[in-house]
Amino acid sequence: MFSHTRDIILAAEQAVLTGEADEGLRHLRHLSLDDFGQVLFGLPDDSLPNLSAVFPRMPSDDVQKSWTGHSGLPLLQRTTSFVRSVAYNCQKLLGHGMEDRTILDFGCGYGRIIRLMYYYSSPARIWGLDPWEKSIELCRADGVLGQLAVSDYLPTALPVGDVSFDLIYAFSVFTHLSERAAILALTTLRRYVARGGLFVITIRPTEYWDHLDRAVRAEASSTGSPINRDELVARHEKSGFAFVPHARGAIDGEVIYGDTSLSFEWIEEHADGWNMVGYDHSLIDPLQLLVYLLPK
């Protein structure tokens, strides 16, 4: 740990002797977001046994890479970039921060971003949903704090009861959905955002197909077969949406998971009940465009 963080981290280490995560967070939130992330992404840590016992363990580098293609510090940098954008735009668009808000991570994976949401809100107010049971199993095995549940691949409702959310985000979810699945997700999630809430998704620009074409040629793609880059770019430019399915089983007669690019115009046309109010783009993760939506 850095010298400027030592006293704060050690105070948090003592505070969680009660077993209460919120007591530790009360101290850890005095850190910067990046320093907070280094602590959470660095657990378990033999020098911090109490924090390691209370907060979630980070998966192995292999697991991290299998979900995102990155691990360690590069992954933390991409994660803090996303979270910082969400925090900034929450303040800009809603007039308040994310502190003490009810938050949903839709497509939470192993809980990577959830870990940084503890910087803003209590784990009791944070939900993580994912349709892949293995993701939720991994979250639970590693001790991710929050309300966790398996959702449907084609959701018409969410397993959250009557909870509505001040913030919903879907990182690298709409980058993988078929058009039918994307429209259904937009429609269903609209029912769960609170009045005055915010919805954030990431999408791929058409330049993604250049990247994927190179990856396929290098046998580094999960599509399992060559792609027609020119056809996909043309499809994106014509309709605002291009999708190539992965070699997976069909759900309700259709393979709904693959690689996807879509345009701002497509969102404005198909996101019923939402107003697109802005976007963000970070050069540290250039093939993820953040799109900000408010409920109509």
- Decide if pLDDT at 223 tops 60: no
CA angle centred on 78, ends 75 and 83, rounded to 5° = 120
- Decide if pLDDT at 171 tops 70: yes
- Decide if pLDDT at 249 tops 70: yes
Given CA atoms 139, 142, 144, 148 in this order, what sign does their dihedral have?
Answer: positive
Amino acid at 24: G
Question: Distance (Å, rounded) from C-alpha 151 to C-alpha 234?
Answer: 33
Check residue 18 and give its pLDDT: 87
The mean per-residue pLDDT over the stretch 289-293 comes to 99
pLDDT tens digits, residue range 226-235?
A: 678 999 999 9
Check residue 247 and give its pLDDT: 82
- Decide if pLDDT at 1 tops 90: no
CA angle centred on 89, ends 84 and 90, rounded to 5° = 100
pLDDT tens digits, residue range 90-102?
A: 999 999 999 999 9
Amino acid at 141: A
For residue 181, the tally of other CB atoms under 10 A from its CB is 25
Closest CA to 262 of 279, 285, 284: 279
- Decide if pLDDT at 167 tops 80: yes
Check residue 8 and give its pLDDT: 98
**Binning pLDDT at 50, 70 and 90, where does residue 218 land?**
low
User: Across all residues in the chain, what is the average pLDDT?
Assistant: 95
On whether the pTM is more than 0.85, the answer is yes
pLDDT tens digits, residue range 268-283?
A: 999 999 999 999 999 9
Check residue 53 and give its pLDDT: 97
Torsions phi, psi for 127 (to 5 deg): -115, 145
Question: Distance (Å, rounded) from C-alpha 6 to C-alpha 207?
Answer: 43
- Decide if pLDDT at 211 tops 90: no
DSSP state string for 119-158:
TTS-GGGEEEEES-HHHHHHHHHTT--SEEEE--SS-SS-
Check residue 250 and give its pLDDT: 85
- Decide if pLDDT at 220 tops 50: no
The mean per-residue pLDDT over the stretch 202-224 comes to 76
pLDDT tens digits, residue range 69-116?
A: 899 999 999 999 999 999 999 999 999 999 999 999 999 999 999 999
